């Protein structure tokens, strides 16, 4: 699967709405940690800290970063699978974080999740047909005949045979299990699908098949993806826009071509330097940029830039003040004093 920022298919042919399908504003997720001593002050780990971005209908926005950057927690908070401490998530003009009961059930049908591990995300006691049927039973009012027709259609759309509906998850390969997970996510015909590392547990050849399936489904049904990954080659293939996260904050955001061809933040440059040569344009530098040291403590947050203690270009101001995510050109933004 040879990809580059120039030869990757462009999703811009999809008709994007001017109003964002998903608008995330100042999203913050924190987890309490054990106090130091009986009368110690309660402390919090900020996994996601003041994150904001938009996702237009028909687009794919990727969130990338190393393990612990907060990308998966961001996705889980948007889907309300973990509780947000602060912020606003607007979907179809509604504050998704404020919905309850029937309003929340109705909204969940429009936002579905594809999980990372196809081995653990499927109930081993249910046949494949029952796995795909679950969201239809809980989130729709379809008749039995309509559900049966929908399940048959979903299996065909993801490339599974009709007779495989009666099999249990352990009787499928990893790629086939992820196809079942995709069919389950498609069952309610959602507008937004959150893909959390959907191919990281699969072999490389199978990864390409699943990614091509996701792109085909997006083209056929006008789907919108929020795509979480640590693999920049995959993100380059799939995404229109990319947010780079480090220690719970977005440090750079831009369209695919701008970010890959002209990265601005030192952390983004270091990540891109690790991309295998097969994904590079001809003549592009292959020099590896190392990131020394360890990330700062997420409980005792530094006053300045989170990357300052590891950045080879750090200045005094970087340890004193926190840079804002400011515009560079077009939709390309970076949180770095070197660009301001």
**Exposed (0-12), middle (13-18) or buried (19+): which is 124, by Cβ within 10 Å?**
exposed
CA proximity to 178, closest of 117, 103, 111, 261: 117
What is the residue-level pLDDT of the chain in tens, covering all 340 positions?
Answer: 433 344 444 444 444 446 899 999 999 999 988 766 666 778 889 999 999 999 999 999 999 998 889 999 999 999 999 999 999 999 988 999 999 988 998 888 999 999 988 888 999 999 999 999 999 999 999 999 999 999 999 999 999 999 999 999 999 999 999 999 999 999 999 999 999 999 998 998 999 999 999 999 999 999 999 999 998 889 998 999 999 999 999 999 999 999 999 999 999 999 988 776 544 555 555 577 777 777 777 787 788 999 998 898 899 999 999 999 999 988 899 999 998 7
DSSP 26-47: EEEEEEEE--SSTTPPPEEEEE
Cβ–Cβ contacts within 10 Å for residue 230, how many?
A: 17
Q: Which helix (H) or strand (E) holds 95?
A: strand 94-95
25 within 8 A of 301, measured Cβ to Cβ: no
Distance CA 290, CA 293 (A): 10
DSSP bridge pairs for 25? 88
Residue 116 is assigned to a structural domain of this protein: no
pLDDT score at 47 = 94
Q: Which domain holds residue 80?
A: 19-110+190-339
| Cα 110 from Cα 185, distance rounded (Å) | 10
For residue 261, being part of any structural domain is answered with yes
Global pTM reads 0.88
Residue 128 φ/ψ, nearest 5 degrees: -55, -40
Distance CA 281, CA 187 (A): 39
Encoded tokens for 151: 């399940």
Q: CB count, 10 Å around CB of 13?
A: 9
Q: Are strands 224-229 and 111-114 parallel, antiparallel or unpaired?
A: unpaired
Which DSSP symbol is given to 70? S
Residue 207 included in any domain: yes
Report the number of distinct structural domains present in the chain: 1
For residue 303, the domain's CATH number is: 3.40.50.300
pLDDT at 280: 53
CA pair distance 23, 86, nearest whole angstrom: 14
Residue 174 maps to a domain: no
pLDDT of residue 220: 94
Contact present, 181 and 195 (Cβ < 8 Å)? no
User: Tens digits of per-residue pLDDT, 189-246?
Assistant: 999 999 999 999 899 899 999 999 999 999 999 999 999 999 888 999 899 999 999 9
Establish if 28 belongs to a structural domain: yes
**333: which residues sit within 8 A by CB, 6+ positions away?**
252, 253, 254, 325, 326, 327
| Domain contains 3 | no
Provide the 10 A C-beta neighbour count for residue 197. 19
Q: Is residue 140 part of a domain?
A: no
Q: Is residue 224 helix, strand or coil?
A: strand
- pLDDT given for residue 9 in this prediction: 44
**Does residue 100 lie within any of the structural domains?**
yes
**Taking each helix axis from N to C terminus, what angle separates 174-186 and 128-139, rounded to the nearest 10 degrees?**
20
- Helix (H/G/I), strand (E/B), else coil: 234: helix
What length is written for the chain? 340
């Amino acid at each position: 699967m040879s990809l580059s920022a120039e030869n990757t298919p462009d999703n811009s042919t999809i008709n994007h709405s001017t109003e964002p399908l998903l608008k995330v504003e100042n999203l913050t997720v924190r987890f309490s940690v054990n106090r130091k001593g009986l009368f110690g002050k309660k402390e919090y780990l900020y996994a996601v800290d003041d994150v904001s971005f938009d996702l237009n209908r028909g687009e794919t926005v990727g969130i990338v970063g190393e393990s612990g950057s907060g990308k998966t927690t961001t996705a889980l908070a948007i889907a309300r699978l973990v509780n947000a401490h602060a912020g606003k998530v607007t979907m179809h003009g509604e504050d998704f974080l404020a919905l309850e009961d029937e309003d929340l059930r109705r909204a969940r049908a429009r936002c579905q999740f594809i999980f990372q591990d196809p081995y653990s995300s499927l109930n081993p006691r249910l046949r494949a047909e029952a796995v795909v049927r679950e969201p239809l039973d809980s989130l729709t009012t379809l008749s039995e005949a309509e559900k049966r027709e929908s399940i048959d259609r979903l299996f065909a759309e993801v490339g599974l045979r009709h007779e495989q509906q009666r099999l249990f998850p352990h009787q499928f390969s990893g790629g086939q299990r992820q196809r079942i997970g995709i069919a389950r996510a498609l069952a309610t015909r959602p507008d937004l699908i959150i893909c959390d590392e959907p191919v990281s547990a699969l072999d490389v050849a199978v990864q390409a098949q699943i990614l091509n399936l996701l792109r085909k489904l997006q083209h056929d049904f006008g789907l919108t993806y929020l795509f979480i990954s640590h693999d920049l080659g995959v993100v380059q293939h799939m995404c229109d826009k990319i947010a780079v996260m480090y220690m719970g904050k977005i440090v750079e955001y831009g369209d695919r071509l701008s970010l890959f061809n002209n990265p601005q933040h030192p952390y983004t440059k270091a990540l891109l330097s690790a991309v295998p040569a097969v994904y590079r344009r001809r003549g592009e530098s292959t020099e590896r940029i190392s990131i020394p040291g360890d990330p700062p403590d997420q409980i005792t947050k530094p006053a300045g830039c989170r990357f300052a203690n590891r950045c080879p270009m750090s200045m005094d101001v970087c340890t004193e003040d926190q840079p804002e995510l400011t515009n560079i050109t077009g939709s390309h933004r970076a949180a770095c004093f070197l660009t301001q």
